[in-house]
Each structure stands twice: as C-alpha cells, then as structure tokens.
Amino acid sequence: MHTRLISRRAGAFDSSGIRKVFDLAARLVDPINLSIGQPDFEMPAAARRAVHEAVDAGRNGYTPTQGIAPLRERLEARVRAELGQPQRALCVTSGSSGALNLALMALVDPGDEVIIFEPAFVMYRPLVEFLGGRCVALDTAPSFQVDVERVAAAITPATKAILLNTPANPTGAVAAAGTVRDLARLADARGVTIVSDELYRSYCYDAPFASPALHSENVVVIDGFSKSHAMTGWRVGWVHGPKPVVDACTMLQQYTFVCAPQVGQWAALAALDAPMDVPLAECRRKRDALMAALRGHYSFVQPGGAFYLYPEAPGGSGGAFAERAVAEERLLVVPGSVFGAADTHFRIAYTVSDTTLERGIAALTRLA
C-alpha cells in the first residue's frame, strides 16, 4: 500500500458528528431518534405522481446544467417577484448542499476569510477549508442572534464572504428583519458577499422571514426543496444571485455534479403548487409541545424557526449528555460540539411522529 494513500485535504477532516449518530442509530434496537434533521411528513402527492409520470415518459437522462426550463422559469419568476431584481440569475443544483458548494467555489480563493456564526451547520467550516479559505467564527451564544457590530469588527481586507443561515440549524434562531437589513448594508459597504442559506425559510413561526437579498442585489441565496417539501433524497436545490456568480456556479456544476437529478426536478416543479400549510402547522405544534414539556427541566432559547430545539446540556457537556442519553435511554441527540467550538448544548430534531416525540420527552425528562 502507498505510504500516503489519501490526500492531505481528505485526511484533515473526520466524518461528520451527525453521520456518526446515524451510524450509531443503525446499531441500536428501537432507538428514540431525535437526531435526524429531515421532515417526517410525506412529499406532496402531486410531486410523487410527477415522479412516476417523468419515469414513464423517459425523462431519465441528463438535463441542461442549469436545470429544466419549466422549473427554472417558475423559480426565476418567483424570486424576481419577491425581490424586484430583474437581473438576478438562477441555477438549479444538486441539492442545496450542491448550491452551497458551488457558491463557495465561485467566491473563495485560498487565504480568503469567511465569517460564520456558531453554532453553525456542520458543512460550513469543512467546505470553506476544502477551498483553502479560513473560517472566522463568531459565537452567537447565549441569544444565538447575529450582532452586526461584531461582524463589522471581524471584517478584514481578507474577508470575502459572510455565511448567514436564518432560520438557523442547529439553534432554530431567526434573524430579526432589522438585523438582516443592517448586515446587508454592512456587507455592501465593505465589499463582502453575503451567502444566505435560506433552506428553512418556510419554517418561521413567530415572525415573517426576512432575506438580506431584499436589501442588496449582491447577496447569493441558497435554497431547495429538501426541507420545505420533504424531498431530501431527490437532491433538488437552487442558487440565485448576481449573474457573474451564478454563471460561475453553472460552469462549475458542469465539472462536478453535472446537473440535478431530472426526475427530482419534475417532482419539484409539481411540488411548487402543493399546499404545505398543514405539515408546517404540525411542525409548529410539535415545537410548542416540546417546549412546554421541557420547560422547567432544561434551559433553552425559544426557536423562532426551523425544526430544532437547542437546550443547554445538564452537567455542561453536550457530548457527555449525548453519551448518557444513548446509554440510559437509547435516545439519540446531537452534541453541540458538532456545530462549533462550544460543547455546552445539544440539538433535538422534533420532526418525528407524535409517538417518538412523546417517548423522547419522557426520556429527556428522566435524564434531566
């Protein structure tokens, strides 16, 4: 065997902490799994029918790199109507993760700095560092809200981008409209690009969603169907923003993902017309039930969106608590160390059946 079989780039990273929890779940008998960040409702019936129709019609090959025209045109019309930016470009991607990959590849050179807000989605730091960039992490605890003055102080001549996620994974925090506006204005004034991860935008419970793209044509937006329409396995996302950036994303997709899966794109087109108010109301109901049950047992900030609760860990260590939860209750949660430097919290994903949620609440109450 060669002395150095894999690249230094690959060797510098470990498997994600969430993936390790998934692997652990596969080995447990009847676990209480509150670790998986995906909807528990079905993708829309119209989208499922569209899958069958697309397969039967032979729509199984490559598509144009930027996506099938009917889907792309519908998304472009919606984005331009919302933002009032007719020059904005859009590319359908292989999932929102693909969109994030492409956007960072288009923007970040070795040595560039990218500001992220911790706790942060597990992919942010590795993707930036794969490209030779450097993450500048701003800790948002205890409120989990973005402080624009701290962002301004963190910007240097090497800062290329700010990665904003609202509603946020893992905290469920929703950035206030004024904060988002001020951040967009700061980024424009300092020549920095905001990459706005808006995958959970449909999950806003206490206040309307606010995008920084409402205040700047320079914002690059990441979105997709995985969370909003329970289509995680179909890998259909999109990126929209300034034409030079999106053109670069389209070119880079030619050499990486090629295109989003065609059948998934036809399903996504049908999903756009499906009413999603009932499943989203169910997510809010589960959030409220979980908070009501755990209040008095755990300390947490009320999440305004997404489908996660991020409580403080009894004993102060999220990692130790997650291990105890598995050992004593077969309960799977994700320790906060997966999402950043701090190990003080743990993440609960509450998009599970009522039965599983009730089992989880009982186990968490005993562990408290």
Strand 236-241: give its sheet, edge to edge: 89-94, 236-241, 220-224, 193-197, 159-165, 113-118, 134-139
Can you tell me the distance from the alpha carbon of 366 to that of 368, in angstroms, rounded to the nearest whole number?
5
pLDDT value of residue 131: 96
Rounded to two decimals, what is the model's pTM? Answer: 0.94
- Pick the range with the lowest mean pLDDT from 26-40, 133-147, 290-304, 312-326: 26-40
pLDDT value of residue 23: 66
pLDDT value of residue 15: 64
Tell me the pLDDT tens digit for each residue of 110-169: 999 999 999 999 999 999 999 999 999 999 999 999 999 999 999 999 999 999 999 999
**Residue of 4 and 1 predicted with greater confidence:** 4
What number of other Cβ atoms are within 10 A of residue 368's Cβ? 12
Contacts of 314 (CB under 8 A, 6+ apart): 298, 321, 367, 368
Can you tell me the distance from the alpha carbon of 48 to that of 230, in angstroms, rounded to the nearest whole number?
11
Which residue, chain included where needed, has tokens 């500001």?
115
Can you tell me the distance from the alpha carbon of 330 to that of 360, in angstroms, rounded to the nearest whole number?
10
**Type of residue numbered 305:** G
Can you tell me the distance from the alpha carbon of 210 to that of 50, in angstroms, rounded to the nearest whole number?
31
**Type of residue numbered 342:** A
Can you tell me the distance from the alpha carbon of 198 to that of 209, in angstroms, rounded to the nearest whole number?
9
DSSP string over 289-312? HHHHHHBTTB--PPP-BTTEE-PB
pLDDT tier, 2 (very low <50, low <70, confident <90, very high otherwise): low
Residue 3 clears pLDDT 70, i.e. is over it: no
Tell me the pLDDT tens digit for each residue of 43-101: 999 999 999 999 999 999 999 999 999 999 999 999 999 999 999 999 999 999 999 99
The total number of residues shown for the chain amounts to: 368
Query: For a pLDDT cut of 70, what percent of the chain falls above it?
Result: 96
Phi–psi pair at 178, nearest 5 degrees: -65, -35
- Determine the straight-line distance between the first and last CA of the chain, rounded to whole angstroms: 50
Tell me the pLDDT tens digit for each residue of 187-227: 999 999 999 999 999 999 999 999 999 999 999 999 999 99
Tell me the pLDDT tens digit for each residue of 152-186: 999 999 999 999 999 999 999 999 999 999 999 99
pLDDT tier, 14 (very low <50, low <70, confident <90, very high otherwise): confident
Average predicted confidence (pLDDT) for the chain: 94
- In 3D, which of 275, 356, 282 has the Cα closest to residue 41? 282
Could you tell me the sign of the dihedral formed by the alpha carbons of 105, 107, 109, 112, in that order? negative
Which residue, chain included where needed, has tokens 């300092």?
190
Mean pLDDT value across residues 315-331: 94
Can you tell me the distance from the alpha carbon of 197 to that of 207, in angstroms, rounded to the nearest whole number?
18
pLDDT value of residue 309: 98
**Type of residue numbered 279:** P
Instruction: Looking at the chain, list the stretches that DSSP marks H as alpha helix, in order from N- to C-terminal side.
Output: 8-11, 17-27, 45-56, 69-83, 95-107, 124-130, 148-154, 177-190, 243-254, 262-271, 277-294, 318-329, 354-367
pLDDT value of residue 7: 84
Task: Show the domains of the chain with their CATH numbers.
Answer: 8-43+276-367 (3.90.1150.10), 45-271 (3.40.640.10)
Contact 171, 200 (CB under 8 A): no
pLDDT value of residue 25: 63
pLDDT value of residue 10: 82
What number of other Cβ atoms are within 10 A of residue 69's Cβ? 10
- Alpha carbons within 13 angstroms on the beta-carbon side of residue 71 total 29
Dmax (CA) for the chain in angstroms is 58
pLDDT tier, 19 (very low <50, low <70, confident <90, very high otherwise): low
